[in-house]
Structures are given as structure tokens and as C-alpha cells.
Amino acid sequence: MTFRGSYTVTITPFTDDGAAIDLEAHRRFLDWQLASGVPGLIILGSTGEFLAVSDAERTEFVKATVEHVGGRVPVLVGTMNAYTPNAVRYSREAEELGADGLMVVPPYYYTPTEDEIFDYYRAISEAVTVPIMLYNNPVTCNVDMSAALVARLTASLENVRYIKEASLDVARVYDVIEATDGVMQVFAGERIVQSFLLGAVGYVNPFGNYAPRASSVIWDLLTAGRVEEAQQIQRKLDEVNAIIAAGHPTYGHQCYSKALAALVGYPVGDVRPPLTKFTSLGGEGEERVQRIRPLLEQLDELADRFAPRAAVTR
């Protein structure tokens, strides 16, 4: 299976009291994603609060997602853990439950060496047969996987063929492709248009949680050569991001993603601690959401205007 396009990295819906995963809300949310034309889904990533779910919840959530999607689009599962045997266990379980691929960040907290990172991914790779998407996120992991390390992993582990590149250095997209002789398939972590122009084949997309049509169409436009129209969508997404980032630290995308999903008709609860709950932001949070509302309407208008002529390459 080949992964291409703008994959929503989804929120994890919780009940109003936060005590359980809300599977009914999740199924409604998945139906909306599929109806919006999203070409793939990634669950239990950073946006999905993977650190805040129990092992039992993880199993139930992966199983429910795979069964509900039913092969209509690829489903990737975040299976990272700071303890290698846990990451291996999560990865093997995800494959057994029918996941199409894995997205795996390096071990966090420890600031591991390159050899430690290599051994971690090797253990996961040897335990599964599905494709593995590396996730380079130095902001949270305190390590930045160099293009040389990515090339080493690509050459040694045959199911390591994708990477979400979120180092905030857009030139890294080009560096990784060059270092791997084009074998590694790069998914953008930000700067969608620029990453595409440097050779990225997809985008791991948090905006899909509340603007799935526009943030999916953007990649169809790029593959159709309609870069300026894609730029128009990216500029609106950048405006949304600026409003969120100005009002909340690094992981504002979790609580605001959930608030904005509710705004457009898909309530999914709030975040779990220690993340800041949207409800605790009070008037400031509501004010920012209301500033984002017209931008979402404008994104829908752009999707309506551009999508009928966009070349679909899913």
C-alpha cells in the first residue's frame, strides 16, 4: 500500500467528564472525514493525546477505528513509547488489529543517541511487516533525526519508508530525499506548499480535524500543478494557526482542535490533563474560536471553488 496526500492526524474524542473514549463521537467524526474526501487517517499521534490513553483504551480505539473505516482509506497508528518493548508491543498489536501502517516518534525524555534511536526502530521494524512512518519532532523529543540517520534507517530497515518531517527546517525535506536517493517518502509536518515543491508526497494534517475538505484539497491542487490556488488555502490555514499559537503554547492544537471540531458540528469532548482544557481558557478561548470561525467559512468556500477541478490522485 502506498501512502499519498493530506492525512488527518486525528483528535481522540473523550466523554464530557474525560473518563472514557467516546467511540460514538469518534465514529461520527470518522464518517465526516471520509465524506470530506480525506485520503488517510492517523490516530494516536500528538494531536490524538497518545500519552493520555491507557493500554486497554488504546486497543479498543485502534480496533474500533480500523473496523469502522473498513479499508476505505489507510489508517496509521501512533505506536511510540519511551520504553522500547512497549513500542514493540503497541506496534505488533496495531498490525494485528488491521492498521495499514505505523507512525513512530523516537524515544522521548531520554535524549537518545543515534545508535539508541536506530536500535529502537530496528526492534519495531523486526516485529511488524506494515510500513513505518518515522516522526521527526525535535520540539517534543529533544532529538532531531538528521538526514544521515534517516538514510541509515532507510537502508537497513525495509519497512521504514515514510517520515513525517517536523523539524521546522523545510529544507530537510530535500535533504532526506537526497540522502536516501529518493527511497524515503516524506510527509510534511508544516509548510505544506514549500514541502511539496521540495519533493514531499503528503502532509500529516492537524487542520483536518476542523477543516478536512480544504486541507485535503490542498494536496490535490498541488499534484495538479495548481500551486497558487493551494497557496490561497495555505494562507488561510496559516491565519488559523497564528490565532491558536498566539493564545496557547506548543500544544494548543489539541484543545483548539476539539473546540473547533465542536464548532463545525462534531463535538469530541475536551483534552485530558496535564494539557490545558479549552473550558479553562474562558472568554479568551471563545474569542479566539469566534475569530477563527469566518476563516473556516472562507476555507470551505475555497474548497468549493477549487475542488471540482482538482485532479484526485488518491
Q: What is the pLDDT of residues 210-237, one digit of tens each?
A: 999 999 999 999 999 999 999 999 999 9
Give residue 248's pLDDT. Answer: 73
Residue 73 lies in a domain: yes
Closest by CA position to 157, among listed 81, 216, 94, 104 = 104
Residue 195 lies in a domain: yes
Question: What stretch of H or E contains 288?
Answer: helix 282-306
Mean pLDDT of the chain: 95
Q: What is the mean pLDDT of residues 189-208?
A: 96
pLDDT over threshold 70, residue 300:
yes
Backbone angles phi, psi at 97, to 5 degrees: -85, 0
Give residue 203's pLDDT. Answer: 98
Task: Give the integer Cα–Cα distance in Å for 157 and 132.
Answer: 10
Confidence of residue 250 (pLDDT cuts 50, 70, 90): low
Residue 287 lies in a domain: yes
Q: What is the mean pLDDT of residues 172-191?
A: 97
Residue 32 lies in a domain: yes
pLDDT over threshold 50, residue 9:
yes
Q: Which three cell numbers stand for residue 10?
A: 486525528
Residue 314 lies in a domain: no
Residue 102 lies in a domain: yes
Give residue 44's pLDDT. Answer: 98
Residues 44-65 pLDDT 10s? 999 999 999 999 999 999 999 9
Give residue 253's pLDDT. Answer: 76
78: number of CA atoms within 13 Å, CB side? 28
pLDDT over threshold 50, residue 314:
no
Distances 18 to 35, 98, 268, 277 between C-alpha atoms, Å: 27, 27, 10, 11
Residue 27 lies in a domain: yes
Give residue 312's pLDDT. Answer: 43
Q: Which three cell numbers stand for residue 259?
A: 473546540
pLDDT over threshold 70, residue 308:
no
Q: How many domains does the chain have?
A: 1
User: In whole angstroms, what separates CA 260 from the centre of its chain?
Assistant: 17
pLDDT over threshold 70, residue 252:
no
Give residue 64's pLDDT. Answer: 98
Give residue 39's pLDDT. Answer: 98
**CATH code at position 267:** 3.20.20.70
In contact, 221 and 233? CB cutoff 8 Å: yes
Q: Kindly report the length of the chain.
A: 314
Residues with a known catalytic role = 135, 164
Residue 211 lies in a domain: yes
Residue 225 DSSP symbol: T
Q: Find residue 81's DSSP bridge partners.
A: none
Give residue 161's pLDDT. Answer: 98
- Burial (CB count <10 Å: 0-12, 13-18, 19+), residue 172: buried
Q: Which domain holds residue 303?
A: 5-309
Q: Which three cell numbers stand for residue 275?
A: 494539557
Q: Which stretches does DSSP call E strand in the chain?
A: 5-9, 41-43, 75-78, 101-104, 132-136, 160-165, 185-188, 202-205
User: In whole angstroms, what separates CA 102 from the centre of its chain?
Assistant: 11
Residues 280-290 pLDDT 10s? 999 999 999 99
| For the chain, percent of residues with pLDDT exceeding 90 | 90
